[in-house]
Chains A and B, each alone.
Chain A
Amino acid sequence: MKQPSNQPLRGGDHRLPTLPQIVPLGDCALLVRFGQSLDDAANRAALVFAARLKADGIIGVVEIVPSLVSVLVRFDPAQVGVARLSGELALRLSGDGAFGESRTHRIAVRFDGPDLGEVAALLGLSIDGFVEAHNRGGMRVLATGFAPGFVYCGFHEKSLTVPRRTLVRPQVSAGSVLFAAGQTAIAATDIPTGWHVIGHTQFRNFDPTVNPPTQLRAGDQIIFEVVL
């Protein structure tokens, strides 16, 4: 059946664009979007695309920032125009690939967070049962964001999903291990958060005295280990 031809392309809030999609973010960046919701395929596609861009070294591109389901490409407009760059990006949208150099990190966590009992209870698990389920299988760094060195790791099984807390804690300390929305996150600095604090780690993914200041890259594998 044909779509009615008078349907507006913009202005409706009902039509979602075809993905992947390249949109300007200001006058010196393009955002390449691979999903409208956070899922494994969209995150993988974003990481593969970012790795491909880095490997290719496109003229005029000054920064490539992989995010949860998108990649920001900052450019110098004196070196490349937006039409030409969009074309270069579009050429690289399809095809398989790897995340680039992906490493495995073992992160020792003391599961002693103030929300640990509540989270386990929400999931109908004992605390030991929750910790065992949480650490089973390892996770992927989905993105760095929100604060210096703050990483989102995913994805837990659907059965391990809890919503965020209703109240935001104004500050949790660096090293806090956070849990919500099917993910585990690690705070590298003191931050406010609405996520559940399930534990703490000595690992700090942010050190401004070295460059690069973080160790974890989007696409890296994380294995959480219990430390007592």
Chain B
Amino acid sequence: MKKQSRSFRNVSENPCNMCMPLGGIIAFKGIQGSMTLLHGSQGCATYMRRTISEHYSEPIDVASSSLNEKGTVFGGEANLKKGLENVCLLYQPRIIGVLTTCLAETIGEDIQRITADYKLEKQRPELPIINVPTPGYGGSHSEGYWHTVKKITAGLAKETPKHSKLNLIIPHISAADIRELKRLLRLMTIEFTLLPDYSDTLDAPYAETYQKIPSGGTSIEDIATMPGAPATIELGITVEEGVSPGKYLENEFGVPLYRLPLPVGIENTNLFFHTLKEITGKEIPEEIQRERGRLLDGMFDSHKHNFQGKAVIFGEPEQVFSATKLCLENGVTPKIMATGSRTRKIDQLLAEELKKFEHVDQETVILSDTDFSIIMEKCRQMGVNLAIGHSEGKILTEREGISLVRYGFPVHDRVGGQRLLSVGYQGTLIFLDRITNTLLENKYKNYRARMFEKYYPLPSPAECELKAR
């Protein structure tokens, strides 16, 4: 197994990640009644709205302080304050998230002070405004997401009497995945606070009257009482401790923290339920056990097909880790694991997992802080025949003929990215079926021609002679 990162390169070719504020917007979308404002130039908000809109097929209203030349030279205070006021007038939000951009950070805006001033001036002392520094050059959208979830937690959590609601903190997964996690917890009759819950706000049902801020999301009150929870489960083992909201709750309020991988794949899902059982003492209900049995049944049914897969897996670290695990469990060989994020943890975690599985040839490579030019080159070298990741990987299909199983964010060239189900025993099986069926489709598409080409032509006289010898 080899590790490689891109830090020595001068140029990124075909990026595998986006920038910090985008992750921040997603996080705020999971807070009830929230509106987000990007402090920077107009384009950032528009680009990110467009990108998120394409994946979720939802209107994504994100305000901008629309900094112009003057604001950049003399400071953007007036713009930010006016922006906040207009957001209040147009949207009447319950909470505002202010995210910075490259521009605001580089000119050194003190958003903490400006937003505090704003609340005083406009007499809105009760309006929570959460400020999050998210310079685009500071990291990928994954880091932006976790950083923002932590700031939200830190900004709203208050010392609370102990209660029985479990904290569940999630990475950026699909809306369908969130709904599945909620269903599973309900089946276990566990009360919980899930943060951030954008399953309704980013996948809203059609309603007769359009709502500018869609209903749903984790309520401010629920977040406030997270410190009284019996425990926190954070589905984020690749997350650095410094930006971990669960770690914050543990350090500040002593809430025991269980950091788990996403429950994708049988082992990760087992771990998820065992942890729930351990924390709450509740038994895993029959219905979930049957789902587990069905997953095993499905794994056995398709194991031979899956053994043909040599995969490249790319995207956000948390998704890469769990998808790799799913591949390993099912005999798909993960040849390349790649993320555009600059995370150190994933290398070690993946290396440990790879060691556990004997069938894997050790010629695998882990890439962090990488881009698609490197991924594509490696795919060519290592004979990859399957890609698992977000839509930008379509370049691998287009240029290298490698079929793509869409997973993660963004999915912009197919519908239903928000409805891709991949967690829990049921989700795992659906995800696995997507992988198996892609391999099967390739097989059926090509095998007649391949076999014909390989076996039909008669050997040349020279070859016959060679064999006779």
Are chains A and B native binding partners rather than an unrelated pairing? no
